[in-house]
Structure 1
Amino acid sequence: MRKIAAHTLQQWGHQKRDSYIGALFDTFERLSATPQIATRVDEIRKGYQKFPQGSHVIFFRASELHDIEIIRVLHNRMDADAQLSSP
């Protein structure tokens, strides 16, 4: 998140950074409440799900305690298989 925030600040300024990071955190909350809206990606790693937000894709897994664990937030141009498939 720090890298995303720093890049957004450098490219587009404070207001855009705050808005973009806020949207990511809002999406984290939404996914925590309704993880079923995301796409399962068991082919990458069993139990993982993904959901797009802006120029990024949020990878997470849901727990039985109605919570989620954010695994990675990757730019949508990144190779998710390469970034997430190894332990």
Structure 2
Amino acid sequence: MVKNDPCYKFAEKAERDLEDIISYTLQQWGATQAHAYIDGLEAQDQLLADNPDLGVKRESLSKGLLSFPYESHILYYVKQPHGITIVRVLHQNMDPMKHI
């Protein structure tokens, strides 16, 4: 039997969030910083896929939603049978009530 490692995937809005983060970081700090930030974010995503209960429950925003910080952003995600789905990646200053 083959073991399925936990994985993460991005909802459509989270993919757009990532595109915006990459674009902004490239413009402000350049390619090296953009790559470093995304590499760190991907490592954080895998950490959460492996340990989905690390996040804080955010039931007031949406049923089953959890959040976890990464540098200046907050990852909002839901557990799945074999990992997590990241629904949004919002800057820490953004109001999640308006964007979730």
- TM-score, normalised to structure 2's length? 0.80
Give distance in 2, aligned partners of 1:21 and 1:10.
15
SS in 1 for 2:67: strand
Instruction: List alignment gaps of at least 5 residues for structure 2.
Output: 1-17
Query: Where do 1:22-61 residues align within 5 Å?
Result: 22-61=39-78
Runs of 4+ in 1 over 6 A off after TM superposition: none
What does the per-residue CA deviation read over 1:6-65, in whole Å, with 9 as the maximum and x for residues that have no partner?
A: 1001101111100001111111100000011110100110100000001100000002x2
Percent of aligned pairs sharing the same letter: 33
SS in 2 for 1:9: helix
- TM-score, normalised to structure 1's length? 0.92
Give distance in 2, aligned partners of 1:22 and 1:39.
23
Supply the RMSD in Å over aligned alpha carbons.
0.7
Query: Where do 1:1-87 residues align within 5 Å?
Result: 1-63=18-80, 65-84=81-100
Instruction: List alignment gaps of at least 5 residues for structure 1.
Output: none
Q: Structure 1 residue 2: deviation in Å? A: 0.9
Give distance in 2, aligned partners of 1:43 and 1:18.
33
- Matched pairs, number: 83
